[in-house]
Amino acid sequence: RLVSSDDAPVPSSRGIQVGRTELSERELGGPDATQGGLQRRKLATVRDRAAVVHACFADFVAGRGLGVADLERVARALLGGVEDDPDPLHLLAPWDTQDRWAAVHAHNVAALTVGVARLAGVSGSDCLDLGLAGLLHDVARVVLPAEVLEKDLELSGDELELMLDHPRAGLEALLDLGQLPEVVLIVAFEHHLDFNGTGYPR
């Protein structure tokens, strides 16, 4: 029970820990990588990784493509972090600014996904695919108009259709990129479906 009708604090239980999570600038991901003479952004801290995701999304919105290789590096850094410390909550990025919300959200979904998958015994390569799926699960939302995202539950008919169709738009955008793990495409399309088939896209 996470919501209480009175002011009594909600207690933790065996499966759910209630309370604050302290986010830190943990060193993670190793030194800068040099590839083909180009210096690549270092992924040493949580903020570094979120910044890489933000830059990839900004390129995508601007029509410059999506840096899948950089996103794979973020997923690899997250997997390395989980192998060093199995608690995925220690990998979460803190709130930054509204314009970076999508990147922080994607990073944190990927961190939790990789962490839970590793704890469940999923292999390293499959964890990397799941991490990439977490990073790209909501890629279509980065191109939705800001006014649609801000309205949330007060959307007009056309705006609501745009919101309900964003998983399909995300899938189409990822299909245009070429070869991606199948799980990435499935997650982008089905991340708003419920276990019983309700949700969207219809």
Q: Tell me, what's the pLDDT at 150?
A: 60
Q: Which two tokens stand for residue 10?
A: 């909600």
DSSP calls for 9-33 = PPPP-SS---S---------S-S--
* Closest CA relative to residue 74, chosen from 29, 112, 115, 39: 29
pLDDT tens, N- to C-terminus, the chain (202 residues): 444 455 566 666 655 656 554 444 444 444 444 444 444 444 668 888 999 999 999 998 888 989 999 999 999 999 999 988 888 888 898 887 878 888 999 999 999 999 999 999 999 899 999 999 999 998 888 876 666 556 555 656 666 666 667 788 888 889 988 889 999 999 998 987 888 888 877 6
Q: Tell me, what's the pLDDT at 157?
A: 66
Identity at 119, one-letter amino acid code: L
- Taking residue 197's Cβ as centre, other Cβ atoms within 10 Å add up to 6
* Closest CA relative to residue 170, chosen from 146, 151, 192: 192
Q: Tell me, what's the pLDDT at 177?
A: 86
DSSP calls for 175-202 = HHT----HHHHHHHHHTTB-TTS-BS--
